Amino acid sequence: MIEETAEVLAVSGHEVTVKTIKQSACGGCKEADTCSTSVLSKYFGNKSIELSLTTALPVKIGDSVTVGLEEQALLRLTALIYLLPMLVMFVCAMLGSYIEQTLQMESELLTIVFALTGLLATFFTLRRYSTYWFDVNKLNPTVLKIN
């Protein structure tokens, strides 16, 4: 479970609005003082994120809470969104290249067309069927405890 501390901004029944600060990983690095990425993250990296969540816990405005997100669901979704389109694009490009070699074509246009077609087809398929493959409730953050 990925956990983050958040502050409660508003409460309406079981609906809770929380705010968390998006922090850069550069803060804990030994080279943070000399790294340009760390300097940039100090100016642009700390942004607040507001989330509307449902909880049964008795929270009040100003409470500090721990918000969690299931790690396995996030990893599966990330793999599906990033790795699957690249894999399909690679396979389609190889198929296009094979057809070009078989037909003794000089240009690589067919390889490019096959690769882009595979990539776009994967994106459209993922968009259409993602609700069937994933439990949406597992992808929503939840309030785990009051700190």
Domain spans of the chain?
Answer: 2-69, 71-139
Give DSSP secondary structure letters for 76-131.
HHHIIIIIHHHHHHHHHHHHHHHHHHHTT-SSSHHHHHHHHHHHHHHHHHHHHHHH
Is the pLDDT at 96 greater than 90? The verdict is yes
Contact 141, 116 (CB under 8 A): no
Q: What is the mean pLDDT of residues 116-126?
A: 95
Contact 26, 45 (CB under 8 A): yes
Q: For residue 2, which amino acid is it?
A: I
Q: How many CB atoms lie within 10 A of CB 65?
A: 22
What is the C-alpha to C-alpha distance for residues 64 and 3, in angstroms, rounded to an integer?
Answer: 13
Is the pLDDT at 128 greater than 90? The verdict is no
Compare 146 and 134 and report the one with higher pLDDT: 146
pTM of the model: 0.63
Q: Which two tokens stand for residue 145?
A: 């405890």
* Average pLDDT value for the chain: 86
